[in-house]
Amino acid sequence: MGVKALDYESLNENVKEVQYAVRGELYLRASELQKEGKKIIFTNVGNPHALGQKPLTFPRQVIALCQAPFLLDDPNVGQLFPADAIARARHYLSLTPGGLGAYSDSRGLPGIRKEVAEFIERRDGYSSDPELIFLTDGASKGVMQILNCIIRGQGDGVLVPVPQYPLYSATISLYGGSLVPYYLEESANWGLDVNNLRESVAQARFNGITVRAMVIINPGNPTGQCLSEANLREVLNFCHRENLVLLGDEVYQQNIYQDERPFISSRKVLMDMGQPISKEVQLVSFHTVSKGYWGECGQRGGYFEMTNIPPKTVDEIYKISSISLSPNVPAQIFMGLMVNPPKAGDISYEQYVRESKGILESLRRRARMMTDGFNSCKNVVCNFTEGAMYSFPQIRLPPKAIEASKNAGKVPDVFYCLKLLEATGISTVPGSGFGQKEGVFHLRTTILPAEEDMPEIMSSFKKFNDEFMEQYEAVKI
Amino acid sequence: MAPPVTVNTINPKVIECEYAVRGEIVILAQKLQDEIKIKLEAHPFEEILYCNIGNPQSLGQQPITFFREVLALCDHPPLLDKSETQGLFSKDSIQRARKILDQIPGRATGAYSHSQGIKGLRDTIAAGIEARDGFPADPNDIFLTDGASPAVHMMMQLLIRSEKDGILCPIPQYPLYSASIALHGGTLVPYYLDEATGWGLEVSDLKKQLEAAKSKGIDVRALVVINPGNPTGQVLAEENQKEIVKFCKEEGLVLLADEVYQENVYVRKKKFHSFKKVSRSMGYDEKDIHLVSFQSVSKGYYGECGKRGGYMEITGFGADVREHIYKLASVNLCSNISGQILASLVMSPPKAGDESYESYISERDGILSSLARRAKTLEDAFNKLEGVTCNKAEGAMYLFPRINLPEKAIKAAGEAKTAPDAFYCRRLLTETGIVFVPGSGFRQVPGTWHFRCTILPQEEKIPAVVTRLTDFHKRFMNEFRD
């Protein structure tokens, strides 16, 4: 008998080509070492609760009540749960005929989509249509769904920032499209230059690619930059001129660590720009419960909002959603709670504010600590983390280190990160996993380790790095 | 300039695929429901009776108490430190929640887990599989997913390289398969279940369809078997399963065993046997057969559709292939943790001696016996209708009666530009509020017409369903009798 259907040779080539470094080689090696008993500090993924961040109390109280509605019938429930959590649980249960165990509308529960629309309206000052908001099992599923609609074949290109979060490169690979890179300017704080966009599009078209969409990640991952309003206007004008659908990955919109550039949504800027552009540019915006100060990654809750997408296309997107029946209901409730948190006067309000502020202020401090810590290291240059959850220092590897990595059969930043891992237990993701300019190396780490652990982590890194640099600079050429 | 994302410019595979379970008829039903909300007299019925989708809890089925207790405690672990909790939760649910939390790194239910799912939970599931089958299961073979459907998509992604790759699917089938194959650009190779023999699966037909596909240049890669069947409800006899396994081994096909209804068996003479058990009992091991088995928390007696919990167990694949499966799983990071926990509970429910055992058994058996009764009542009702024959629902959650539509009705359908079974279902909906899914959504032998009806409306609503359906059918046949 010849080759069997799931032998390696006969796998879908697109699958073979997919790369997702966030849980790739470094992570697997770190897991191995952990099994052997080594203490590992996982900074490879934006996974706050895994590094000790606590869930916010109020949402967990509400969801527990929704999960076990028999509690609501018990006269003693008030001893375990505050009255506003009880009321909110009743509210969400009233929105779901059948409770948490029934498939909802394939777009998500109408009542919760309405809450999301109201949140968007409060945030941006423009009304939002719940019918154009689809809840998904995490924002990633939404991104994959939309890209699947856009990519018809290899001839279709999607503009993606470099460096980027590798969900985009992986998905474009999987669906057989073409990734059209546009480079962010490291020397300008990872700024987005429209000239780079123009160049990339021209190059792609020259190669016969039809550029269909543009991804922006704002705040950026792994780079953390927050786009200015002017920048967003340039991008929207660009998309309008070049006939691109803009995919606005805004999952880190609540993670802002400087005051010069607060978060402003792509949709708000688009609406501010008025007609005709506000009615013509196609935009899909993504958000999640996994980031911000909630960090509820394990719930898998997200949504996308469509702007200026024609009704027939929305129908097709709905059809795809319906094949998976519905997003998970508990996460939908998390989303409702996130966009509609306790208000001033509610019993749980002060606790909610205290917990949230505590997390956000700590993240801001850790962003600063990490940036400064990296900048104090030999041959390391690090832009400030303006937003999101990561630090993306540039590691200037000496020529002899690059040579050594080649001899070891490893990409230079992978080589460095593996050595870092083995020496210190710090598990990062090499910059090559995100894309970078040729010959320039980085690594991505999160700013999520506990604040009290940060000084030790940074000094441990500095010790390793400075010794590494000395070792490879001292080698006689 | 035309905007980039219009129906003329989106991925044509998206346009091509279809999913009738939430298709046209259901969209219309929702519209009618909204109209009744505004004005009760808008239609000749007061409520829509959704019999289109296997969504038990939306129609009043209650969740299993023990499962919800454990999940609530895992959702909010501080409850475990409060003394009042002892009075509100069963002792064994508290114990189980503690055990599960200990298996989760940092007790963090809000963190992304291992991309295959939390190891301790996979251990529990593997033990559950072993207890069920009598053959060992490896936790590393298990991938926890947001429901069984994403796991099916993952396998189609792996298997389909181009439209030259074919997947054998039963006709009638659950339209996830046809939709997924279309979406991934492959070719569905049909094999026909035999209605006359209770939807029997003949290996000779499998062979015939395989050869026909090969002669057309199709590389057939896998065989989908849904057992118990959806929409057809048959439970395969063990001998039949052995033939199927042997066929897959000989032809080098991946066996994709959709076993999500494994706990829904209503006839005493049939029993569920997993394909894993059958393969191992034939002496076939990892070298002999590629097998992927799908299970879900959405069906059975637990019916937890909204949780999106499930898994696939993959056996017989080389390490290099498993690496790629893992990689695909990792792009989405992981499935939702609550669903993972629930999958482990479903595969290892309370045992004799546990505090919750009695109430658990009583809830479980109550639901299953009620499902069996409803299946029988509706089967009998369908068989009494003129021109309608209905096979028994041995398992799953559906009936799939066949209707011999008069020529006049078929002609009227043609004029209305709909398939005859869709025409019937639409009329049924607008006159009675009952929602069935037309058989054409599941595919059927050409020239035959069916519709799928779930057995899920609450027992007290079943008489209303039967009466309205019977009266409608009489009127319809009178109108269109040749």
Domains, chain A, ordered by start: 8-39+353-474 (3.90.1150.10), 99-339 (3.40.640.10)
CATH number, domain B112-346: 3.40.640.10
Contacts of residue B347, defined as CB under 8 A and 6 or more positions apart, other chains included, come to: B124, B125, B127, B128, B129, B132, B295
Instruction: Judge: B327–A18 Cβ closer than 8 Å, yes or no.
Output: yes
**Chain A residues closer than 8 Å to B337 by CB:** 298-299
Percent of chain B with pLDDT over 90: 92
Instruction: Judge: B112–A76 Cβ closer than 8 Å, yes or no.
Output: no
Query: Taking the mean position of all CA atoms in its chain, how far away is CA B473?
Result: 28
pLDDT one-digit tens code per residue, B365-387:
999 999 999 999 999 999 999 99
Instruction: Judge: B6–A80 Cβ closer than 8 Å, yes or no.
Output: no
Best residue in A325, A337, A355, A389 for a mutation probing chain B (most B CBs within 10 Å): A325
Q: What are phi and psi of B419, to 5 degrees?
A: -65, 145
Residue A297 has its nearest CB partner, among B85, B112, B290, at B112
Q: Does B298 have pLDDT greater than 90?
A: yes
Residue B290 has its nearest CB partner, among A4, A48, A244, at A4
**Chain A residues closer than 8 Å to B254 by CB:** 4-6
- Calculate mean pLDDT across residues B395-401: 97
Percent of chain B with pLDDT over 70: 99
Q: Cα(B308)–Cα(A137) distance, rounded to whole angstroms? A: 9
As separate numbers, helices (DSSP H) first and strands (DSSP E) second, chain B gives: 17, 14
Residue B335 has its nearest CB partner, among A57, A144, A300, at A300
Report the candidate in B27, B28, B45 with the shortest Cα–Cα distance to residue B36: B45
Instruction: Judge: B75–A141 Cβ closer than 8 Å, yes or no.
Output: no
Among chain A residues, the shortest Cα distance to B71 is held by A67
Among chain A residues, the shortest Cα distance to B153 is held by A324
Q: Which pLDDT score, from 0 to 100, does residue A5 have? A: 64
Among chain B residues, the shortest Cα distance to A279 is held by B3
Report the candidate in A263, A451, A79 with the shortest Cα–Cα distance to residue B79: A79
Instruction: Judge: B306–A141 Cβ closer than 8 Å, yes or no.
Output: no
B279, B273 contact by CB (below 8 A): no
Confidence of residue B319 (pLDDT cuts 50, 70, 90): confident
Report the candidate in B415, B417, B430 with the shortest Cα–Cα distance to residue B475: B430
Domain boundaries, given as residue ranges, for chain B = 12-60+371-479, 112-346
Q: What are phi and psi of B169, to 5 degrees?
A: -130, 145
Joined together, the tokens standing for residue A422 give 């083995």
pLDDT one-digit tens code per residue, B149-164:
999 999 999 999 999 9
Instruction: Judge: B306–A326 Cβ closer than 8 Å, yes or no.
Output: yes
Helix axes A194-206, A229-242, angle to 10 degrees: 20
pLDDT one-digit tens code per residue, B203-218:
999 999 999 999 999 9
Please provide the DSSP assignment of A189-258 as one string: TTB--HHHHHHHHHHHHHTT-EEEEEEEESS-TTT-----HHHHHHHHHHHHHHT-EEEEE-TTTT-B--
Please provide the DSSP assignment of A254-280 as one string: T-B--SSS----HHHHHHHT-TTHHHH
Among chain A residues, the shortest Cα distance to B164 is held by A12
**Chain A residues closer than 8 Å to B333 by CB:** 22-23, 45, 138, 140, 297
3-state secondary structure of A22: helix
- Exposed e or buried b per residue across B451-476, where buried means at least 16 C-beta atoms within 10 angstroms of its C-beta: bbbbbbbeeebbebbbebbeebbeeb
Confidence of residue B1 (pLDDT cuts 50, 70, 90): low
Residue B306 has its nearest CB partner, among A7, A104, A174, at A104
B308, B151 contact by CB (below 8 A): no
pLDDT one-digit tens code per residue, B61-103:
999 999 999 999 999 999 999 999 999 999 999 999 999 999 9
Q: Cα(B176)–Cα(B183) distance, rounded to whole angstroms? A: 10
Distance in Å, alpha carbon of B119 to nearest chain A alpha carbon: 13
Among chain B residues, the shortest Cα distance to A2 is held by B252
Distance in Å, alpha carbon of A343 to nearest chain B alpha carbon: 22
Instruction: Judge: A316–B1 Cβ closer than 8 Å, yes or no.
Output: no
Best residue in A56, A103, A236, A284 for a mutation probing chain B (most B CBs within 10 Å): A103
Among chain A residues, the shortest Cα distance to B222 is held by A5
3-state secondary structure of A471: helix
State if pTM tops 0.90: yes
- Calculate mean pLDDT across residues B302-327: 94
Distance in Å, alpha carbon of A151 to nearest chain B alpha carbon: 6
DSSP A439: T
B295, β-bridge pairs: B311
Q: What is the mean pLDDT of each run of 10 residues along chain A (477 residues)?
A: 65 82 87 93 93 96 97 93 98 94 96 98 98 97 96 95 95 95 94 94 97 97 96 97 96 97 97 97 98 97 97 93 94 98 98 98 97 97 97 97 96 97 96 95 96 96 97 76
Query: How does the average pLDDT of chain B come out, rounded?
Result: 95
Among chain A residues, the shortest Cα distance to B30 is held by A105
B407, β-bridge pairs: none
Helix axes B407-415, B420-432, angle to 10 degrees: 90
Query: Taking the mean position of all CA atoms in its chain, how far away is CA B440?
Result: 18
Q: Which pLDDT score, from 0 to 100, does residue A4 have? A: 64
The reply to whether omega before B3 is within 30° of 0 (cis) is: no
What's the number of CA atoms in the CB half-sphere (13 Å) around residue B78? Answer: 11
B301, B350 contact by CB (below 8 A): no
CATH 3.30.530.20 applies to domain B12-60+371-479: no
Residue B110 has its nearest CB partner, among A149, A296, A323, at A296
- Calculate mean pLDDT across residues B245-252: 96
Best residue in B75, B140, B153 for a mutation probing chain A (most A CBs within 10 Å): B75
Q: Which pLDDT score, from 0 to 100, does residue A477 have? A: 52
**Chain A residues closer than 8 Å to B214 by CB:** none
Q: Do the bridges between strand A380-381 and strand A390-391 make them parallel or antiparallel, or are there none, so unpaired?
A: unpaired
Residue A299 has its nearest CB partner, among B60, B110, B320, at B110
Best residue in B7, B8, B10, B250 for a mutation probing chain A (most A CBs within 10 Å): B10
Distance in Å, alpha carbon of B385 to nearest chain A alpha carbon: 31
Distance in Å, alpha carbon of B10 to nearest chain A alpha carbon: 5
Residue A150 has its nearest CB partner, among B11, B21, B336, at B11
Give the angle subtended at the CA of A239 by the CAs of A245 and A250, to the nearest 5°: 60
**Chain B residues closer than 8 Å to A175 by CB:** 11
**Chain B residues closer than 8 Å to A79 by CB:** 84
Instruction: Judge: B108–A76 Cβ closer than 8 Å, yes or no.
Output: no
Q: Which pLDDT score, from 0 to 100, does residue A475 have? A: 62
User: Cα–Cα distances in Å, from A174 out to A144, B136, B327, B419?
Assistant: 10, 34, 11, 36
